[in-house]
Structure 1
């Protein structure tokens, strides 16, 4: 069975690997566990990693826009980024629309992953896996990969092991990914609008860290500037001031609850 699976996957062109992503975004409320379905789409040239819920929301909005309809994004989306890994040059980038209503940010990440392969083996999700460890993003990660699935890839930015990562979690159990499903990708499931709809701002990883720290100090800066410039219409100055206060409070409250991000060293 392992041999047949290996032959099938080697001959396939495009595959979709679905992971369950369990995270605890707020260390002050450790019972506030979030479970998300995340997708790793693989083709011969690259992979894309994204939230299935975001993909469905973006696809719905794109189809409605073709009909002249305006649909609001799903407000229950937790993970808004899309991670792209190019296989030819090993370049990794993260695209997100989380920090601005006017821009999408594309953040290049050229860091190497220094894995330590360990002798332990275990059957996980039906696959024979080997253990590896990594220090990345201020966390110690334990990964289990299988050479049965011959893609040197995995969830989030994790990659470059001798097979697909089936499970990976940090040492404190705050963030974990586990493979749920493997299937052939069909054309309607491909993420086609990753770079569509907004202006793109390209940043290096070091530039993004500076931006991100400033954003957490003042998450409403971009919105406030647009509101004060008249780009956003209000019936009166009182309405504008009231709306700005509401937005600022909501964004600051969200930042407080999001104190356990996956790359925790970015806020230390």
Structure 2
């Protein structure tokens, strides 16, 4: 992931998004990349008001949230190379977090939405160790890195503003029928069509239903977002 701090905005996004965008610009390519982390955000500097970006079905959407973080700062410190890090804890997104921040780096930012400490967060982890972040490189760029082709839009698909209720509806629609497009084509052809899903050739609606149930199992199995208190509660059919 990349934490992109500019004089006016802060952005957090997957490195593969930036890499794909850079290759497109350098070689005149038209590649795309879908970030499935659910952690792509941007906000004004020194703000807890986040704009979230998410891929759902075949669409790209944005929705706004306010995510105030209340930290408890400890006197405990440790050394990381030439830096002195100080410990802080908080509860956010239904998880307990421990952060190690550096007062000598005067940015009160950190991974995803976890910000607001008097220094840059170098290390961050939840107590179940589901999400672990470590600062591995810091780089000052000569100018602001343009993100409009992969963050504000997803390689040609401009983010459509929605609210939380609409987001929930879209996610449930995908879960209920993840292969809706394929199902529609199969119905139109009266089953006289061959569809490839994950390397498996589908010949009829019954086989598609089997693949649908398998996909729903996968969605439920990996239903572990960073903000676990906002996790979807998927039914089992």
TM category (shorter chain) comes to 0.7 to 0.9
Aligned counterpart, 2:84: 128
1:203 aligns with 2:157: no
Tell me the secondary structure at the aligned position of residue 128 of structure 2.
coil
Mean Cα displacement is larger for which, 256-265 or 149-158? 256-265
2:57·2:174 contact (CA, 8 Å) conserved in 1? no
Tell me the secondary structure at the aligned position of residue 84 of structure 1.
strand
Choose between structure 1 and 2: higher helix proportion: 1
Deviation at 1:191, TM superposition (A): 2.3
Structure 2 residues not aligned, in runs of 5+: 197-201
Tell me the secondary structure at the aligned position of residue 132 of structure 2.
strand
Aligned counterpart, 1:60: 23
Tell me the secondary structure at the aligned position of residue 85 of structure 2.
strand
Structure 1 length normalisation: TM-score? 0.67
Structure 2 length normalisation: TM-score? 0.75
Aligned equivalents of 1:226 and 1:186: distance in 2? 47
1:131·1:145 contact (CA, 8 Å) conserved in 2? yes
Deviation at 1:41, TM superposition (A): 1.1
1:140 aligns with 2:96: yes
1:214 aligns with 2:178: no
Aligned equivalents of 1:187 and 1:250: distance in 2? 46
Tell me the secondary structure at the aligned position of residue 183 of structure 1.
coil
Aligned counterpart, 2:228: 264
Q: How many residues align?
A: 219
Q: 1:106 aligns with which of 46, 53, 62?
A: 62
Deviation at 1:218, TM superposition (A): 2.4
Deviation at 1:113, TM superposition (A): 0.9
Q: 1:117 aligns with which of 73, 85, 90?
A: 73
2:74·2:86 contact (CA, 8 Å) conserved in 1? yes
Q: Larger relative CO (CA 8 A, sep 6+): 1 or 2?
A: 1
Once the two structures are superposed, the pairs formed by residues 13-32 of structure 1 within 5 Å of their partners are none
Once the two structures are superposed, the pairs formed by residues 44-55 of structure 1 within 5 Å of their partners are 44-55=7-18
2:49·2:67 contact (CA, 8 Å) conserved in 1? no
